[in-house]
Structure formats: structure tokens, C-alpha cells
Amino acid sequence: MRSLILGNGSLLVTLDDRGEVRDLYFPHVGLENHAGGAMRHRIGIYADGSCSWLSEDTRWRVRVGSAEDSLESRITAEHEALGLRLSFTDVVYNERPILVRKIEIRNLRDEPRTVKLFLGHEFEISHSPGGDTAYFDPASHSLIHYKGARAFLANGRAGETPFDEYAVGLFGIAGKDGTFRDAEDGVLSKNAVEHGSVDSVMGFTLALAPDSSGTVHYWLTAAEGIPEATALNAYVLAKSPTHLLTTTSDYWKAWVHRYDWDFHGLSPAVAALFRRSLMFVRAHADDDGGIIASADAETLQYNEDTYAYVWPRDASFAARALLRAGDPNVAERFFAFCEKVISDEGYFMHKYLPDRSLGSSWHPWIRDGELQLPIQEDETALVVWTITEQYRHSKDLEFIEKLYNPLIAKAADFMVRYRDAATGLPHASYDLWEEKHGISTFTSAAVFGALTATAEIARVLGKEDRAQEYERAAREIREAILAHFASEEAGGFVKLIETFEEKTVYDRTPDISSVYGLFAFGVLAPDDPRLVDAFTATTQRLTAAGGLMRYEGDQYFRSGGRGNPWFIATLWHAQFLIARAKEDADLEPARAILAWVAAHAQDSGVLSEQLDFDTRTQRSVAPLAWSHAAFVNTTLDYLDALERLGICDDCNPAP
């Protein structure tokens, strides 16, 4: 779990709850991670004859916060026994791949003191062990780590004075903990080069008057070679670290305040989380179009794998959140990404890497001796559905026409074909949660929504015959959903239909995605009694710790007697309540849900996937782009409802 994410589309950095760098992705957001796993960029203080590392000394009280209107940190670390307080402001420069950290060290005692700040670097360049080199470069007075076509340069100043100590050495091999141990006597060895599994440390000496501060500016450049890394270092020195900090802050403030949203009835905490969520979603987007699920490489999913992949499902929800908030650029790049990776047959695979190569998967090509497509069809449907949302906001006819044949119609034609001849429902695929193989209510509803949306686009482009074909298929799917999934025994609708040895089995597990899908994709209107009753029955069964579980019996990261509440599931309930509101009072339950989410965010605003049922603390991956996208989409639904109800004329000014 991470406490903050900083990025600019090519360099992505995460910080943990001690304020230390734990993931460093370059040149793609989500690929390659040069500092993942157990590695960390350590922060240490030498004072009063001893060295204290923030990651090891629990007496440091660390709070990792963030600016609400800029993608930058607000971190404090105080050590009462040492009489020192550290304050950090960190950014990834918005124009170039450079991490900048401003560290203010305050002497809390009424006597003058000399302290040293040590900053360490542990890399596993290109996410492969061994073969790294680290050295002190006297020409640029910097520490450089490199391997192949990847180079990282670290430098800094205490005031106007360069770092005055350094050391390079081995870590994790030959019985070596790491070069950071060399700092613990207060003096670095100035060993100038090492190769293999290597780390480095730089040191700054500061003379602090009583109750006064000293400031260190530190920067790390990422590049595709040493010449480029040193050129970026020269750029920092020419512009100054302060300039990079200021211009990055100004950029994000302008980006997040492009529209003057009126958060009528919502608390300042909810408004702040809305802005932070927009920036966190944006930080997960790669310049080449991919939007990864999470940069957190510590929380592993199945079989020691991470979440740093482009799931078309997660990415579609993220793209939709940004375009609804008035930023269509990320969505357009994502759709261009999708055009490149969609199969010739018109479907998307499970997940992809940000460089458009195929990601890992646990979906098999054969099941019970029968060939099958290892897909979640909801992902194909969600991409098409979101493209239509893009057109509604941008009215960019040229863009939609360019994508129609290679992406929109290709996927829609697949969804029309990939159906059971007897029922008209989509063929079986893996469900939204990637666990069960069958015909799910959510996937069927998503396909209905996607084909309905494609018909709209086809008609805009003058393709009336194709529009009617897609409408006919969508109508058949809707009729089949109502005929085959409705179930009084299941409280409204079944979750999934599976076939075992030619026998049909109905999974009646209450699942929030089942009722949400019927609502979100327009299978049933929000006020349809069948949907209202089903939503009520489902949410009553899934209530947990103030939120909602995904489905009854969920075991993923379960620690207590019940399943954990998920932010996504809870926010989906809020979206349904908002859609049904007839007056301001009807919006109060949705306001309460938004406030509940904000109350359970980290100090930085980061949202995880779920909360522990017993402790109410965050569990699983953090930050999760999908959770933040759900918060943005729900808040925008709320603002749109205020306009619909005549409460606010222009609460949501985004186009």
C-alpha cells in the first residue's frame, strides 16, 4: 500500500507511509519499475552521535499528506527525542522526467546543532536483478545509476552547497545490507563506483541555529542514457529546483481548477477529495495511452503479480471520469491505445502492459476440454460504451469517424456475433471480478449498453442499416436479460448463469454489479420497481462496516467474519440513489456516502480498493485508479442531479 503518487505521464513515483520512494516507473507509467519490491530510497538523519532512518525508527511521527489543488506532497516527520522536524514538498516535474524534493530540517531545540541528512538510492534497473552500475560523477558532482538504456542521476544542494558526502556499494548480496549502513557512523566512505546489486547514499551537512531551519533541494532525473540524464541535471541547475517546484504546482492548480464546480451541499473534505482523485487518476495515465490500475507494486494480486497493467475495464472507468470532468485528452489517447491492441476478431484480452504488449493472465484458452476465449467481455463493451460518452461531451465527429471501423464497429460486430443462438445472451466469459466463467448479468447489461451506444454513433455517421442491426441485437439482449436473469429467489436478479456438463446452474449470490449493471447501462430505468426492489434487497445483504461488499461471501483480502466494504461498490449505490432523486432531501444518502468515502481516505487523499471490516483501515492496493474514478463519477452525477432538480443552474460547468 502506498500513501502518495506523483507523475507526469512518463515518470511515475510512489511514496510510502514513511515518505520514502518505493516505486519508480520510467519511461512508461506502470513500466518499467526500477525501485519496486523491498527496495526503498531511504531518508536518514545523523544527530547527537547516532543515525536514525525514517523507515526503521518508529519514533518518527510521519504524516504523508498532499496538496488538494496540486499533485505534490505535504509530508512532515517529527522526532521528539532528536528535537527535529522534517517537512517535505515533492513533485514530479510536469514537463520532464525529474523528481524534485524540498526538505526543510528544523531544529526544535534552543541550542545550535550540526546535523546530517542522508538520502539513499536502491535500484533494480529495468526490474531485473544484477548488472547495475552506480558511480560518483565528479564532472556533474552527482550519483549516477545505470544499466543498458536506463540511467538515473541524483543530485542536491543544501542551500547553495552541493552534497558533501557520498558512498556507493553493494546491497542484498555478499552479506551486505546496503551502503546506507556506511552512514550510521555519520561519515560516508566516498567509495566511488560499484556494480552488480548496488545502492548509493549522499549526505548533506547543515549547521542549525536554535529554533531554526535549513533546506535541502534534491532531484532525481530519469533518462534513456547517461548523456540525457546529465543534460536534465544541467537543466535543473539552470532553472533551479525552486522553479521546477513552483511551475509544477502552478500547472496542476490550473489543470484542476479549469472549471468552477459548485459543490452545493458537499463538505470541503469531499470537494478536496474530488480534486485529488482527478489528479490521482491522471497520474495513472501513460503518455502513450494506457491507464494502469495501480502503481502500487507492494500489494500483490495473484501469484506474485502486481496491478500495474492496463485493464480495459478499469481504464474505461478512469477515462470516463476525466472526460466528464472536462479533460478529453487522456480518453482520446486511451482509445488510440485500444485501437492498436484490439484483436482482429474484435475483442480485448484480459489486460495489457503500457507498451501495448499482452499482460499476464489467469484466464485459460481451454476449459473442461473445450476451447474458449480467455476474455471478460465486459471489457470490450466498456471501451465502446465510454467512446460514446466521449462523443457526447466533445462532439468531435472527426475523431469518432476515425475510430468507427477499426475499433467501434469491429468490437460491436464481435458482440453481435458472440451470442448464444438459443437465448440471445452473450456467450460465457469471465465476470467483472475475474473469478467466475459464465453469463453474468453485469456483462450482459454492458453489452446491451455498448450496442445501444454504437447504434447511436452509427446513426450520427449516417449508417442507418448498421444502427438498426445494433439496436436489434441490443433489444434481443435486453429481452433475454429480463427473461433469464430475473429471479424472486435471488432478490431480483441472478448474478451468473453457468453450464456444467450440459446442466444450467444459476448463481443467486447477491452482487452489487448485477443491479448496478442493469441501472448503469440502461436495461431498466432507475425508478423501475423491479430494479428498485432488487437494489434494496442487494444492498441490505451487502452492507458492511458502513459500506458495501462486492458480493456476499467475498473472500478477497477478507480478514474477519464478513467480507470487506469496497469503495467502488459503495459509490455505485450512491450513483443509483442520485439517479432516483426527486428533490434535494433525496440526495442526502448520497452525500453521506461521499462523506464516508472521504472520511476513510488516507491523509493524502489516497483511496485503496477496500477497507478492513474489523479495523476500518485500508486494505489491498492503494491508490486504486478505479476507486478514484468512481469517486469522481459519483460526484459529477451529484452535480448533474443538482442541475436537473433546479437546485443549481451551473454546478457542473464542464462541457
Percentage of the chain beyond pLDDT 90 is 89
Separation CA 110–CA 273 (nearest Å): 39
- Same domain? For 343 and 483 the reply is yes
- Mean per-residue pLDDT over the chain, rounded: 95
CA angle 334, 548, 291 (to 5 degrees): 10
- Same domain? For 188 and 283 the reply is no
For residue 365, being part of any structural domain is answered with no
pLDDT band at 637 (very low <50, low <70, confident <90, very high): very high
- Same domain? For 99 and 159 the reply is yes
pLDDT band at 452 (very low <50, low <70, confident <90, very high): very high
Separation CA 3–CA 603 (nearest Å): 8
Those residues whose C-beta lies under 8 Å from the C-beta of residue 623, and which sit 6 or more positions away, are 2, 5, 280, 284, 294, 295, 296, 606, 607, 608
For residue 434, being part of any structural domain is answered with yes
For residue 35, being part of any structural domain is answered with yes
For residue 366, being part of any structural domain is answered with no
- Same domain? For 229 and 335 the reply is no
**Average pLDDT over every residue of 543-561:** 89
Grid coordinates 481516505 are at which residue?
601
**What integer pLDDT is reported at residue 38 of this predicted model?**
82
Instruction: Confirm if 592 and 574 have CB atoms less than 8 A apart.
Output: no
- Same domain? For 474 and 622 the reply is yes
DSSP-assigned beta bridge partners for residue 438? 429
Question: Residues 479, 485, 486, 488: what is their CA dihedral angle, to the nearest 10 degrees?
Answer: 170
**What integer pLDDT is reported at residue 173 of this predicted model?**
84
The whole domain housing 301 covers 268-359+372-644
Instruction: Confirm if 485 and 491 have CB atoms less than 8 A apart.
Output: no
**Average pLDDT over every residue of 598-621:** 95
**What integer pLDDT is reported at residue 586 of this predicted model?**
98
pLDDT band at 602 (very low <50, low <70, confident <90, very high): very high
Q: How many domains does the chain have?
A: 2
- Same domain? For 188 and 295 the reply is no
pTM (two decimals): 0.96
Separation CA 43–CA 57 (nearest Å): 11
pLDDT score of 176 more than 90: no
**What integer pLDDT is reported at residue 490 of this predicted model?**
62
- Same domain? For 238 and 293 the reply is no
Nearest alpha-carbon partner for 484 in 429, 444, 519, 447: 444
Question: Residues 649, 652, 653, 654: what is their CA dihedral angle, to the nearest 10 degrees?
Answer: -150
Residue ending a domain, choose from 205, 223, 255: 255
For residue 20, being part of any structural domain is answered with yes
Question: Can you give the CATH number for the domain in which 548 is found?
Answer: 1.50.10.10
For residue 80, being part of any structural domain is answered with yes
DSSP3 helix / strand / coil % (the chain, rounded to 5):
35, 25, 40
Residue ending a domain, choose from 255, 282, 300: 255
- Same domain? For 250 and 397 the reply is no
- Same domain? For 127 and 273 the reply is no
Residue ending a domain, choose from 255, 290, 313: 255
The tens digit of pLDDT for each residue in 44-65 reads: 999 999 999 999 999 999 999 9
pLDDT score of 301 more than 60: no
Separation CA 520–CA 388 (nearest Å): 14
pLDDT band at 576 (very low <50, low <70, confident <90, very high): very high
- Same domain? For 477 and 594 the reply is yes
Separation CA 604–CA 615 (nearest Å): 19
For residue 419, being part of any structural domain is answered with yes
The tens digit of pLDDT for each residue in 322-381 reads: 999 999 999 999 999 999 999 999 999 999 999 999 999 999 999 888 899 999 999 999
Instruction: Confirm if 517 and 523 have CB atoms less than 8 A apart.
Output: yes
- Same domain? For 321 and 196 the reply is no
- Same domain? For 330 and 243 the reply is no
The tens digit of pLDDT for each residue in 518-537 reads: 999 999 999 999 999 999 99
**What integer pLDDT is reported at residue 617 of this predicted model?**
92
Alpha helices in 461-581 (DSSP H): 464-484, 512-520, 529-542, 567-580
**What integer pLDDT is reported at residue 303 of this predicted model?**
52
pLDDT score of 489 more than 80: no
For residue 109, being part of any structural domain is answered with yes
Separation CA 392–CA 160 (nearest Å): 53
CA angle 276, 442, 375 (to 5 degrees): 90
The tens digit of pLDDT for each residue in 394-421 reads: 889 999 999 999 999 999 999 999 999 8
Question: How far lies 349's CA from each of 357, 369, 555, 556, 621, in Å?
Answer: 11, 21, 25, 23, 22
**Average pLDDT over every residue of 116-143:** 95
231-253 as b/e: b if 16+ CB within 10 A = ebbebbeeeebeebbeebbebbe
Least confident segment among 3-12, 295-304, 331-340: 295-304
Instruction: Confirm if 239 and 231 have CB atoms less than 8 A apart.
Output: no
Question: Can you give the CATH number for the domain in which 11 is found?
Answer: 2.70.98.10
pLDDT band at 562 (very low <50, low <70, confident <90, very high): confident
